[in-house]
A and B are shown apart, each in its own frame.
Chain A
């Protein structure tokens, strides 16, 4: 599981370091998934036991990381959607999707 997280982080970092808007957005989305998997792994992976603390309290799955995960997915979804819309608008207005051409204060 942690290897998958590592691979997702590597891909995401590579994409964020590239130059076009769309790749950067995809990169943040992939890192977001990596983070979600990491939270799930940190809760401790157990096999097939219910997320309830019954009478035999020896074996139960910790349900809190899954609740955190759900919240994180929703937030990540919303910010990614906003980011995509914004980068499309930036592409329309600025006329370029290359971050190299988005720097500088010459035109202020």
Chain B
């Protein structure tokens, strides 16, 4: 029992509710939201240290013990994700202060972000599959409002599609839960794992597992990403950055959690299927990123490539591959936020997203240009930056498990990713400076600090990969051996 586990969920929830009451006091909103996110970060650091010294932390809500009540479980993997999510949202909120506009600020932008955060943290920390559904809905409802907040034409059009797709995937999620409950008679993840292991993963359970995979693929943008480029390019920069770095990652987290804890008995079927989907989404995402000449489109298709690459490592289901997935997942959350903020700043400055309409920005904005260069290199996994560690482990892992095609596609697509972001870099920052300070549409004032912080974080994570090695290895050990999780949650009862 550890009450720290519930704090990342209730802090943003309560703060958000308090903020709704004081609608017109924008400064209070700003300060409270930053404070709440910072508290979550501190709490996550506490949790990390506790997990490192004394194993996974659990909390039985209402005192109902494991298989009956709702359990919250903080293992190393979840705690790392909560920490990085808090850092990323902190930076995106700092960016939003000077870019989001007072209209949106007055219409509950900050409370909505906090509710989104509550849903995201809840999904990471829950140990109950129905509670996972509820947390998904919390974050989705907040994201529906955030996508449409502002009510421009493109936002309304894209949010209609976004809501429809996500509602249908939520229904499929409920159906899958209903079937799983009918088969196993439990909803607790650890208990599910025990029951599935006892009964053996037969054809029916594998079919339900594939249904879960479809649901989470829709949320994560794994292969079923048709809704993603539209929905992520419609909202303002800060919101799009939060979405790109958090929402797809929640889907990935759910896939990794379910297929390492519950449905791990038939890797020849389910994990191969994940591998194929990952390969296809890498190829299609890279094609999209190469084909477009629009800043927002290129970076949204790069989200799809990232999702594919993370799950390629997981599909190999080996120690090295999963270690790579965890490293790359942490890297991807930071770098996607940074990339979206940089792309949004370019559009904010020039007033256009078309690559052919701009050139020579580096003369006026050298810091922005070099940060974009760092982000581009880090995204495609060039050594000193954070993408490299994940990429080398994922590739080694897929090769070790004999999935040579998967590793090969991963390497090939990272070249295409490099080409697509270098295309932005060369046509935006190089060339003849036709652009003067008079013709700029906005300023970088107040926007640079958060991006600089994220950029230095990607360098630090690349150079100091050894420093978080102990934490990542604990996370990987927890993912590879379901008994650690089961013992932490159920203890002696339930066996």
**Residues of A near any B CB (own CB < 8 A):** 16, 21, 24, 28, 31-32, 35, 38-39, 42-44, 64-65, 68, 71-72, 75, 78-79, 82-83, 86-87, 89-90, 93-94, 99, 102, 107-108
Contacts and interface: CB of A to CB of B under 8 A. Distances in A.
A101 to B, nearest CB: 10
A78 B242 CA distance: 23
B413 interface: no
A44 B182 CA distance: 8
Nearest to A24: B164
A86 B134 contact: no
Contact of A79 (B141, B154, B187): B141
Given A28-B167, A64-B181, A68-B130, 9 more contacts: A71-B130, A72-B174, A79-B137, A79-B141, A89-B148, A89-B151, A94-B153, A94-B157, A102-B160
B175 interface: yes
Nearest to B180: A42
Given A38-B178, A86-B148, A28 B153 contact: no
Nearest to B230: A105
Given A83-B167, A87-B160, A90-B157, A43 B181 contact: yes
B153 A83 contact: no
A89 B148 CA distance: 10
B215 to A, nearest CB: 12
Given A43-B181, A93-B156, A108-B154, A79 B174 contact: no
B144 interface: yes
A72 B170 CA distance: 10
Contacts of A93: 151, 153, 156
Q: How many residues of B sit at the interface, in one of the four size bands?
A: 20 to 34
Given A79-B163, A94-B153, A28 B168 contact: yes
A71 B175 contact: no
27 contacts: A28-B164, A31-B171, A32-B171, A35-B171, A35-B174, A35-B175, A39-B174, A39-B181, A42-B178, A42-B182, A43-B181, A64-B181, A68-B181, A71-B130, A75-B170, A78-B141, A79-B137, A79-B144, A82-B141, A83-B164, A86-B156, A89-B151, A89-B156, A90-B156, A90-B157, A99-B160, A108-B154
A39 B164 CA distance: 21
B163 A107 contact: no
Given A35-B175, A39-B174, A79 B167 contact: yes
Interface of B: 130, 134, 137, 140-141, 144-145, 148, 151, 153-154, 156-157, 159-160, 163-164, 167-168, 170-171, 174-175, 177-179, 181-182, 187
B168 A16 contact: yes
Contacts of A31: 168, 171
For the complex of A and B, 4 pairs with smallest distance between CB atoms: A42-B182, A90-B156, A42-B178, A39-B178
A96 to B, nearest CB: 10
A60 B309 CA distance: 48
Contact of A86 (B140, B160, B178): B160
B181 A42 contact: yes
A44 to B, nearest CB: 8
Contacts of A21: 160
B299 to A, nearest CB: 16
A32 B169 CA distance: 11
A71 B157 CA distance: 29
B157 A102 contact: yes
A95 B179 CA distance: 42
A67 to B, nearest CB: 9
Given A16-B164, A24-B164, A31-B168, A86 B144 contact: yes
**Residue picked from B134, B141, B148, B167, most chain A C-beta under 10 Å:** B167
Contacts of A28: 164, 167-168, 171
